[in-house]
Structure 1
Amino acid sequence: MIDVLGNGSAPRLVVFDLDGTLYPKEAYAEQVLAVIGRMFVELQGTSAAHADAKTAELREAMRTNWSGTSTTSFVRANGFDVAQWLEYREAHLSIADGLERDENLVRELARLREVVPIVLLTNNTRSSATAILDKIGLGAGGFTQVFSSEDSGDTPKPDPGAFRVVLDRCGVPAARTWSVGDRVDIDIEPLRRLGGAGIAVDGPADLAAAVDHLIGLARQG
């Protein structure tokens, strides 16, 4: 089921999230939790018990408030900087290994791409995002542009600065840009704060409905 958070505009650009949006969040959460626990021990020298407590805290946040929980924000709040997190994640996390090609996803995004440009905005590194996109069948070429952690720098989602990078490079005003993601607070609200709109989905099974809605709006505008 989708949740449309519109502004009355016809989209000239659609920005997609990656984790939990283009593949199921279940393939993401436990792997990320394990890597974060290991990072506490190896980089901060904490005890295994402390690391377990921290990952339990994050797991509970994911369970009760998935829409508002950002792993990047969590590690930053616990003393890691963005570069440190990305380097460790790149070395120890390989979400792509557990994924497979999704023909429905490929078809739906191709259908939307015929009507309006689509881009990807993710807090993943470019190499990690590319590996995931290749595995699910889209490839980086499935999008007009791919924006990764290397592009957003010190302003990763949920910072609106990540969306400002996309808008500036694509030359599209926020008011004509829509975001599609599985977490309202992380993927939708930062763009809405700039004047944009969005559609919240529970995962890839909802993308057909989101695409139908966006195509309808684009053709009206």
Structure 2
Amino acid sequence: MIDVLGDGSTPRLVVFDLDGTLYPKEAYAEQVLAVIGRMFVELRGASVAHANAKVAELREAMRTNWAGTSTTSFVRANGFDVAQWLEYRETHLSIADGLARDEGVVRELGRLREVVPIVLLTNNTRGSMTAILDKVGLGVADFTEVFTSEDSRDTPKPDPGAFRVVLERCGVPAAGTWSVGDRVDIDIEPLRRLGGFGIAVDGPADLGAAVDHLIGLVRRG
């Protein structure tokens, strides 16, 4: 089921999240948790017990408040800087290994791309993003533009600064921009704070309904 957060404004640009939106969140949640626990031990010298407690804290946050839980925000709150987290994640995490082509995702993004420009905004590095898209059946060329951690730098989602980069580079006002993602507080609310709109989905299975809604808005003008 989708949750439409907007007033029906005509989309001039649609921003897609990656993790949990274009592939299921189950494919990465436990992998990310394991890597974060390892990072506490290897980079902080934390005990395994302390690392496990931190992982349990994050796992519970994901369970009770998925829409508002960001792994990037969590590691930053625990003293790791963005560059440190991204470098460690790039070295020790390979989400793409567990993914497969999803014809539904390829089809739905293709339908929407015919009527409105689509871009990708993710906190992943460009290398990780490219590998994930390739396994799902997409490529960078399927988007008007892609934005990764290298673009948002010190303002990754949920910082509105990540969306400001998108708006400025694409030359589209927030009022004409919609975001599609699985976490309202991370993928949608930052854009809404700038004047945009969004659709919350519960993974790839909801993309058809989200695309139908957006195409309807475009056609109504």
Please tell me the TM-score bracket, short chain as reference. over 0.9
- The answer for the alignment partner of 1:108 in structure 2 is 108
Give the conservation status (yes or no) of the 8 Å contact 1:33–1:59.
yes
List runs of 5+ in structure 2 lacking aligned partners. Answer: none
Which whole-Å CA distance do the structure 2 matches of 1:201 and 1:93 have between them? Answer: 25
Aligned residue number for residue 148 of structure 1? 148
Alpha-carbon distance in structure 1 between the residues aligned to 2:77 and 2:189: 20
1:197 match: 197
Separation of aligned partners in 2, 1:144 and 1:179: 14
Cα distance in structure 1, aligned partners of 2:6 and 2:21: 18
Q: What is the aligned partner in structure 1 of residue 90 from structure 2?
A: 90
1:7: how far off?
A: 2.8
Displacement of 1:111: 0.2
Q: Provide the TM-score with structure 1 as the length reference.
A: 0.99
Aligned length: 221
Question: What's the counterpart of residue 212 of structure 1?
Answer: 212
User: Amino acid of the residue matched to residue 104 of structure 2?
Assistant: N
Which amino acid is 1:103 matched to? E
Distance in 1 (alpha carbons) for counterparts of 2:8 and 2:141: 30
Residues 12 and 177 in structure 1, CA contact (< 8 A), matched pair in contact too: yes
Aligned to 1:73: 73
Which residue is 2:64 aligned to? Answer: 64
| Secondary structure of 1:39 counterpart | helix
CA shift for structure 1 position 139:
1.2
SS in 2 for 1:107: helix
Asked whether the equivalents of residues 7 and 196 of structure 1 are also in contact (C-alpha less than 8 Å), the reply is no
Alignment correspondent of 1:128: 128
- Cα distance in structure 2, aligned partners of 1:94 and 1:141: 22
Structure 1 SS opposite 2:19: coil
AA of the residue aligned to 2:51: A
Question: What TM-score results when the alignment is normalised by the length of structure 2?
Answer: 0.99
Give yes or no for contact 1:184–1:200 (8 Å, CA) kept in 2.
Answer: yes
Q: Name segments (4+ residues, structure 1) moved above 4 Å.
A: none
> Counterpart of 2:28 in 1: which secondary structure?
helix
> Which is worse superposed, 86-95 or 2-11?
2-11
The separation in 1 between residues aligned to 2:142 and 2:60, in whole angstroms, is: 34
Alpha-carbon RMSD across the aligned residues, in angstroms, is 0.4
Partner-residue secondary structure (3-state), 2:214: helix
Q: Please list the CA deviations of residues 150-198 of structure 1 after superposition, one character each: whole Å capped at 9, or x if unmatched.
A: 0000000000000000000000000000000000000000000000000
Identity %: 87
Structure 1 gaps of 5+ residues are: none
